[in-house]
């Protein structure tokens, strides 16, 4: 199976858990998994405005890491720095160090196109292409030079995204004709089709009804077998249900940049967090 | 104070004069006005069409389409050279202006950053769309006839179909650029981001998604612009479309005349026979125009259906 191969690659390149950086206080204890992405002192700007400051975090391979926090505290900005999508916005830039499988993705000669091919992204609003369902999935694989059986890849990707049964009879019809939840799963399928190492999800279920949300959560449960997932969510139950690690982003004073306030195992974060603001937030006392 | 609530109630009834019937009357007045505005345009167009059709259609026969103009015998004159000249112009202008216009629009919308240079370019393109066509004619005369005449028409002193098409291309480029840019701008950034997130390069996103999505809009602008080009007379007069020609153009470098030029020439003649010829040529010109437009619309709709 494909996932076996990629996992092996990841272990080869991954930094082993014991080499944990201790500069930042609240890195959660290792759980036997390797580090998928390592973030050190990351700050993100829009022009002169600093949106996120000094985030350090280890994203563990084959685990789901959830990012929670009030609106406008930089979760989405942060996640977009992990595949160099942040800089697509005119005037936006990031400082700091982000490594993927031990390799710094922000060096001068790193090609952002290559990084995005390895770190896929699912957006808040479903954004399927104005093409057939089949082409939506096949396009990314084709531009990345996929040489295998395309029909097979499309079917596999749609199955992984739990969409195959609903669309297998109308692969030639437009992806825009699907419902919102189906569109989002189509976007997950097209991301899976290029076989990235990490999948970033920016509130993937926030525009969806509970049934579709459930399906996407089921999909994520499957995904973490073979992928590293980072998900931004406003839904605390969702974070508690699906993630292994949770990071809480917070802005203390109006106008400050967002910070990673606390980062720990999900269970600890939701039962016994270190900081008062985290506890207030996860128990719904504010935000 | 204690009456506040009640006063509030009474105020809500006395301070509003809803006057529904008066407002409806005003509504009717404006409805009538906009109908009238539309009707004026339509009636004038209908009268114009009827008059041209009445004068022109009886004169149209096969001999008129395939014949050559005559200085002495208006009864046997035809429009073959002018018709062919116009078709050549239409085709060449499309071939030149569409890639250039769409290319410039893609640059300005997808690649250009917000620098003063690009802003100057943008403002200039918008202004160029409003420049009178005769000015483009003079530009064409200066560049394509006088300066580049040895390329554009070694045997016609630069006064060739190619010169005419290049001049008309300049004329319609701003319109194509502007409409294509608008079509590109209407595409949500989420499409671009979706493409980038899969590891696509900018060109792959443009070619794979943006251009197909912008094509219907870009084609609409191109159709309008080409319709304008084929009806232009003034710039062609300046860059040397001939008034009398008794052979059909053989290629882009041939001398030529075009339908509007031919029509203009005939209308200037004193005899009534020439006026009839002009009317008949106008009918043919409009038929060519409608035909070209419908072909483009069919292409556009087919493309829209596919995406």
pLDDT of the residue at B174: 93
Q: What is the mean pLDDT of chain A?
A: 86
Please give the sequence-ordered ranges of beta strands (E in DSSP) within B198-255, or none if there are none.
Answer: none
For B213, the closest chain A residue by CA position comes to: A130
Query: Model confidence at B170, in pLDDT bands (50, 70, 90)?
Result: very high
Mean pLDDT, to the nearest integer, of B233-238?
A: 86
**Residue in B195, B197, B209 nearest the CB of A83:** B197
Q: What is the pLDDT of residues A124-170, one digit of tens each?
A: 999 999 999 999 999 999 999 999 999 999 999 999 888 999 999 99
The verdict on a CB contact (< 8 Å) between A123 and B209 is no
Query: Cα-Cα-Cα-Cα dihedral of A215, A218, A219, A225, to 10°?
Result: 180
Q: What is the mean pLDDT of chain B?
A: 86
CA A108/CA A188 separation, integer angstroms: 30
CA A269/CA A274 separation, integer angstroms: 8
A140 shares contact with chain B (CB less than 8 Å)? yes
Query: Model confidence at B46, in pLDDT bands (50, 70, 90)?
Result: very high
pLDDT of the residue at A9: 41
The verdict on a CB contact (< 8 Å) between A174 and B307 is yes
CA A194/CA A190 separation, integer angstroms: 7
Query: Model confidence at A19, in pLDDT bands (50, 70, 90)?
Result: very low
The verdict on a CB contact (< 8 Å) between A129 and B209 is yes
B194 shares contact with chain A (CB less than 8 Å)? yes
Q: Name the least confident of A63-72, A204-213, B130-139.
A: A204-213
B210 shares contact with chain A (CB less than 8 Å)? no
Check pLDDT > 60 for residue A22: no
B307 shares contact with chain A (CB less than 8 Å)? yes
The two tokens of residue B236 are 């062609």
Please name which of B208, B205, B187, B193 lies closest in space to residue A202, comparing C-alpha atoms: B193
Mean pLDDT, to the nearest integer, of B67-92?
A: 84
Query: Model confidence at A246, in pLDDT bands (50, 70, 90)?
Result: very high
Mean pLDDT, to the nearest integer, of B86-95?
A: 92
pLDDT of the residue at B195: 95
Check pLDDT > 90 for residue A66: yes
Check pLDDT > 80 for residue B52: yes
Phi, psi of A40 (to 5 degrees): -130, 125
Q: What sign does the CA torsion over A212, A217, A219, A223 have?
A: positive
Please give the sequence-ordered ranges of beta strands (E in DSSP) within chain A, or none if there are none.
Answer: 35-46, 49-60, 64-68, 92-100, 103-104, 119-122, 198-202, 228-232, 245-250, 259-265
B209 shares contact with chain A (CB less than 8 Å)? yes
Query: Model confidence at B181, in pLDDT bands (50, 70, 90)?
Result: very high
Q: What is the pLDDT of residues A50-62, one digit of tens each?
A: 999 999 999 998 8
The two tokens of residue B219 are 């084609």
Query: Model confidence at A27, in pLDDT bands (50, 70, 90)?
Result: low
Mean pLDDT, to the nearest integer, of B147-164?
A: 82
Any alpha helices (H) in B107-185, and if so which ranges? 116-128, 133-140, 149-152, 161-185
pLDDT of the residue at B307: 45
Mean pLDDT, to the nearest integer, of B122-129?
A: 89
Exposure of A282 in the CB half-sphere (CA atoms within 13 A)? 27
A174 shares contact with chain B (CB less than 8 Å)? yes
Question: Which residues make Cβ contacts (< 8 Å) with residue A123, sequence separation at least 6?
Answer: A187, A202, A204, B190, B193, B194, B197
Q: Can you name the residues that pair with A271 across neighbouring β-strands?
A: none
The verdict on a CB contact (< 8 Å) between A88 and B194 is no
The verdict on a CB contact (< 8 Å) between A123 and B213 is no
Q: Please check whether residue B148 is in contact with residue B167, taking contact to mean a CB–CB distance below 8 angstroms.
A: no
Other CB atoms closer than 10 Å to residue B205's CB: what's the count? Answer: 21
DSSP assignment string, A164-206: HHHHTT-TTSBGGGS-HHHHHHHHHHHHHHT--SEEEEESTTT
Question: Which residues make Cβ contacts (< 8 Å) with residue A231, sequence separation at least 6?
Answer: A64, A65, A66, A67, A200, A201, A204, A220, A239, A242, A243
Q: What is the pLDDT of residues A183-220, one digit of tens each?
A: 999 999 999 999 999 999 999 888 788 888 888 888 88
Tell me which of A16 and B253 has the higher pLDDT. Answer: B253
**Residue in B188, B192, B197 nearest the CB of A116:** B197
Query: Cα-Cα-Cα-Cα dihedral of B151, B157, B160, B162, to 10°?
Result: 20
- The number of residues in chain B equals 307
B268 shares contact with chain A (CB less than 8 Å)? no
Q: Please check whether residue B260 is in contact with residue B236, taking contact to mean a CB–CB distance below 8 angstroms.
A: yes
Rounded alpha-carbon distances, angstroms, from residue B57 to B60, B280, B281: 5, 6, 9
CATH 1.10.4030.10 fits B62-306, yes or no: no
- The number of residues in chain A equals 287
CA A25/CA A279 separation, integer angstroms: 18
Question: Which residues make Cβ contacts (< 8 Å) with residue A225, sequence separation at least 6?
Answer: A3, A62
3-state secondary structure of A49: strand
B205: which chain A residues are within 8 Å (Cβ-Cβ)? Answer: none
**Residue in A113, A123, A130 nearest the CB of B209:** A130
Query: Model confidence at B242, in pLDDT bands (50, 70, 90)?
Result: confident
ipTM for the predicted complex: 0.85
Please name which of B242, B240, B285, B238 lies closest in space to residue B260, comparing C-alpha atoms: B285
Q: Please check whether residue A153 is in contact with residue A215, taking contact to mean a CB–CB distance below 8 angstroms.
A: no
Query: Model confidence at B28, in pLDDT bands (50, 70, 90)?
Result: very high
pLDDT of the residue at A4: 44
Q: What is the pLDDT of residues A162-173, one digit of tens each?
A: 899 999 999 999
Q: Please check whether residue A238 is in contact with residue A201, taking contact to mean a CB–CB distance below 8 angstroms.
A: no
How big is the A-B interface in CB pairs under 8 Å?
67
**Residue in B197, B201, B204 nearest the CB of A121:** B197
């Amino acid at each position: 199976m494909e996932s076996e191969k990629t996992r092996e690659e990841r272990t080869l390149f991954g930094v082993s858990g014991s080499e944990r950086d201790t500069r930042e206080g609240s890195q959660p204890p290792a759980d036997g998994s390797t580090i998928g992405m390592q973030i050190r002192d990351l700050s993100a700007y829009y022009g002169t405005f600093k949106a996120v400051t000094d985030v350090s975090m280890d994203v563990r391979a084959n685990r789901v890491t959830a990012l929670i926090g009030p609106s406008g505290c930089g979760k989405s900005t942060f996640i977009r720095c992990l595949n160099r999508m942040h800089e697509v916005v005119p005037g936006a830039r990031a400082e700091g160090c982000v490594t993927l499988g031990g390799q710094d993705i922000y060096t001068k000669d790193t090609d952002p196109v290559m990084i995005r091919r390895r770190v896929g992204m699912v957006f808040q609003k479903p954004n399927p292409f104005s093409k057939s369902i089949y082409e939506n999935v096949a396009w990314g694989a084709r531009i990345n030079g996929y040489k295998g059986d395309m029909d097979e890849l499309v079917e596999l990707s749609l199955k992984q995204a739990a969409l195959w049964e609903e669309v297998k009879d109308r692969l030639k019809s437009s992806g825009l004709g699907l419902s919102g939840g189906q569109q989002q799963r189509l976007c997950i399928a097209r991301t899976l089709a290029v076989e990235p190492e990490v999948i970033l999800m920016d509130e993937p279920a926030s525009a969806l009804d509970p049934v579709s949300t459930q399906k996407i959560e089921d999909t994520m449960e499957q995904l973490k077998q073979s992928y590293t997932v980072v998900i931004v969510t406003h839904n605390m139950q969702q974070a508690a249900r699906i993630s292994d690690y949770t990071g809480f982003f917070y802005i203390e004073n109006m106008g400050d940049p967002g910070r990673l306030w606390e980062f720990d195992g999900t269970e600890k974060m939701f039962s016994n967090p270190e900081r008062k603001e985290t506890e207030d937030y996860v128990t719904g006392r504010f935000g | 104070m204690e009456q506040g609530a009640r006063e509030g109630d009474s105020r809500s009834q006395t301070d509003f004069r809803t006057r529904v019937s008066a407002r409806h009357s005003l509504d009717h007045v404006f409805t009538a006005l906009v109908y009238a505005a539309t009707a004026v345009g339509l009636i004038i167009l209908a009268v114009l069409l009827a008059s041209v059709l009445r004068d022109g259609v009886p004169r149209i026969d096969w001999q008129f389409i395939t014949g050559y103009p005559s200085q002495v015998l208006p009864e046997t004159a035809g429009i073959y050279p002018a018709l062919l000249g116009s078709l050549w112009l239409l085709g060449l202008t499309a071939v030149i202006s569409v890639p250039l216009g769409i290319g410039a629009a893609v640059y300005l919308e997808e690649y250009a950053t917000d620098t003063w240079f690009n802003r100057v370019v943008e403002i200039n393109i918008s202004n160029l769309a409003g420049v009178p066509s005769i000015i483009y004619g003079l530009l064409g005369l200066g560049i394509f006839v006088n300066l580049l005449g040895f390329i554009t028409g070694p045997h016609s002193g630069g006064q060739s179909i190619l010169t005419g098409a290049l001049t008309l291309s300049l004329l319609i480029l701003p319109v194509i650029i502007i409409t294509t840019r608008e079509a590109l701008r209407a595409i949500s950034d989420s499409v671009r981001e979706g493409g980038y997130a899969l590891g696509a390069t900018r060109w792959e996103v443009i070619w794979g998604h943006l251009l197909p999505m912008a094509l219907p809009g870009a084609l609409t602008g191109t159709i309008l612009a080409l319709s304008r080009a084929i009806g232009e007379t003034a710039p062609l007069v300046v860059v040397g479309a001939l008034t009398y020609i008794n052979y059909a153009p053989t290629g882009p470098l041939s001398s030529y005349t075009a339908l509007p030029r031919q029509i203009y020439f005939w209308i200037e003649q004193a005899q009534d026979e020439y006026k009839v010829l002009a009317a008949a040529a106008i009918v043919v010109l409009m038929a060519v125009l409608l035909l070209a437009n419908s072909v483009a619309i069919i292409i556009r709709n087919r493309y829209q259906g596919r995406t």
